Amino acid sequence: MSKVGIIGVGQSKFVRAYPGSVRELVFEGFKEAMEDAKVTTKDIDATIVCSAPEYDKQRSPSGVFAEYLGLNPQPTFYVESLCSSSTTGLRLAYSLVKSGLHDMVMVLGFQKMSEISAAESQERMGRGTDIQWEAPFGTMMPAYYAMFAKGHMAQYGTTPEDLALVRIKASTYGILNDRAMNRKVLDMDAFKAPAPLAGILSTPLRVGDCCNNADGSSCVIVANEEKAKAFSKKPVWIKGLGSATAAVNMAGRETFYSLPAAAEAARQAYGMAGMKPGDINVAEVHDCFTIAEILAYEALGFAKPGEGPALIRAKETYKEGRIPVNVDGGLLSKGHPVGATGGSQVRTIVLQLRGEAGDIQVKDPAIGLVHNVGGVGLYANVTILGRE
């Protein structure tokens, strides 16, 4: 069985308002990945562009980027699964390479969210859920995840302090990540009124429980085994891929204390890799909200159902802990440029597995995992990467 490897990763800084156009924003992630992989545009056989289109003013951005990045006449196309778009792109890149159709495929993720107001962006994000039956009630992402926080609290006794611990951990690493938007160390006082992060957004979630919208781009270059070995001294191999969905309408969900699509995607990825949760040395999970990281611990099997809060209380997901999670600061510190986020998570794990993660380097990891969720657990992708 031939392997599929990642030979180049890049991302822009994630910022509140990028002072340039989307093609210029995408160039930043692209440049870093191209220099990392030491390839030329002629080596790239196809490009998959990933974003959530509700923020784009440019229709069909793939063609614009192909021209701007010197990728004509190779094929390019667009894919979206909300916040998990760029790991959906990675899944497609894997299949294009694995099938033998292409030798090397680029996955470009981007989002420029700063051109619309926060309230407008919440309205558009809300329209990533059920617009016919739910949006007329005035829904938005923080309110949906708040329902899962409330559900987890009612089922397992999780507390607002447990949620704050997730943000405090994120801030510990955000300060070490020069690509992150939030680079201030926080403690429990940040969650005490009248501190700005303590303000309630949607009960029980506070401002500090939520990640920020951001502008950013990411780029991942995937190659077949022969090319990966030829171009890279340290290719990182795709060992397992899982992808699943759940009901878009909350009336279709069985519980409000877990995200079943993430658990199913994890089951598939572990199965394909022939691994179990205990084999993972470092993980990036989709902490769009603090509760989402706790749900991820449980979906991925790092903790049993209901025991996610115990994991963060014991600092087991810190860099020195049993299973380091989001040691790049996560979405909570980096910001969340929807279509670029999955690629940024992949970049962090690739750098970790190559031993090139600098201040946030976990001790000698061999296997890493990326958990990237779109919508309110509507889409979930779990990817397992390895050095061997």
Partner 1 sequence: MAKKEMDNRFSKFGTVSFTAVTRVNDFIGYLEQGKLMGTKCKKCGLKFFPPRADCYKSLDSDMEWFEVSGTGKLLSFSTLTFAPTGFTQDLPYTIAVLDYGDYKVFGRVDSSIPDSELSVGMAMKAVVHPLPNDRMNYVFQKG
Q: Give the active site residues.
A: 83, 336
Site residues, partner 1 (CB under 8 A): 117, 119-120, 122-123, 126-127, 130-140, 142-144, 146-151, 154-155, 199-205, 249-253, 255-256
Please state, in angstroms and rounded to a whole number, the distance separating the CA atoms of residues 113 and 337: 7
Minimal distance, residue 209 CB to partner 1, in Å = 12
Determine contact, residues 316/61, Cβ cutoff 8 Å: no
**Burial group, residue 17, by CB count within 10 angstroms (0-12, 13-18, 19+):** exposed
**Per-residue CA distances from 136 to 35, 52, 140, 208 (Å):** 47, 21, 11, 27
As a residue count, the chain comes to 388
**Per-residue CA distances from 202 to 136, 144, 209, 311 (Å):** 17, 9, 10, 25
Q: Is 261 helix (H, G, I), strand (E, B) or coil?
A: helix
Minimal distance, residue 250 CB to partner 1, in Å = 5
Give the nearer residue to partner 1 in terms of CB position, either 153 or 380.
153
Determine contact, residues 352/362, Cβ cutoff 8 Å: yes
Give the nearer residue to partner 1 in terms of CB position, either 112 or 253.
253
Give the nearer residue to partner 1 in terms of CB position, either 42 or 137.
137
C-alpha closest to that of 165 among 318, 344, 285, 371 = 318
Give the nearer residue to partner 1 in terms of CB position, either 142 or 235.
142
What kind and span of H or E run contains 123? helix 118-126
Minimal distance, residue 212 CB to partner 1, in Å = 14
Minimal distance, residue 201 CB to partner 1, in Å = 5
Helix axes 290-299, 260-273, angle to 10 degrees: 40
Give the nearer residue to partner 1 in terms of CB position, either 1 or 119.
119
Query: Which residues are CB-neighbours of 250 under 8 A, at least 6 positions away?
Result: 134, 144, 147, 256, 376
Give the nearer residue to partner 1 in terms of CB position, either 2 or 203.
203
Minimal distance, residue 268 CB to partner 1, in Å = 23
Please state, in angstroms and rounded to a whole number, the distance separating the CA atoms of residues 275 and 33: 29
Minimal distance, residue 122 CB to partner 1, in Å = 4
